[in-house]
Amino acid sequence: MKKLLLILVVLSVVVMASGCTSSDPWSSNKTYSSNGVTFVYPASWSVNASSVTTPSGSDVIVSVGSTDEGFAIGNINVSDLPSASVLDMVNELVQQYKTQGYLTEKAVSVDGVNATMLTTQNKTSSGFYNSIAYWAKNSKLYYAVYVSKNNGTQTMDRILSSLTTT
């Protein structure tokens, strides 16, 4: 009887463990750490694999992604502006994007500072939803862009929560 009970326990553990596979893209991940930024992204993505539209006049630090979604981070040179003006510029950019169809706005935290994230409510002509976040840190203006074929921002939220700048 004890032997049968032991066999049942072992079989139960094997069956439960074999059913624990996951299609979660975050079950394994990669870390990008270069050019003054560090963040975690899904392991199925590649660096420079996505074509992400970024704000004009900006420098793209890196873009990562797959065929269905992508993420890019960059900065806009504001070295000649005082810190208060950098925050004013963030607010101005947010207002500009609101007039371009970015209808959902939410406050997020990126690298310990407040940021504003805007998301489109409709797909672009290329078939993607866009989200963009702006924040200022150390007298620099940063942005992050996320594009996807679905209208979720969970991936953007997760990347932003892991992001640090130096």
Check residue 22 and report its DSSP letter: -
The confidence score (pLDDT) of residue 89 equals 75
Mean pLDDT to the nearest integer, 3-31: 47
The confidence score (pLDDT) of residue 30 equals 95
Distance, in Å, from the CA atom of 100 to the CA atom of 56, rounded to the nearest integer, reads 14
Q: Are 165 and 111 in contact (CB under 8 A)?
A: yes
Looking at mean pLDDT, say which of 23-37, 44-58, 116-130 comes out highest.
23-37
CATH number given to 27-165: 3.40.1000.10
pLDDT digits (tens, 9 = 90+) for 118-133: 887 777 777 888 888 9
pLDDT digits (tens, 9 = 90+) for 59-111: 888 999 988 899 999 988 776 665 556 667 777 777 777 777 667 888 899 99
Residue 43: alpha-carbon gap to chain centroid: 14
- Structure-block tokens of residue 53: 């539209």
The pLDDT > 70 percentage for the chain reads 70
H or E stretch including 89?
helix 83-99
Q: Is the pLDDT of residue 23 over 70?
A: no
From residue 2, alpha-carbon distances to 11, 85, 123 in Å are 14, 75, 61
Q: Is the pLDDT of residue 163 over 90?
A: yes
Q: Nearest to residue 164, comparing CAs of 3, 55, 32, 8?
A: 32
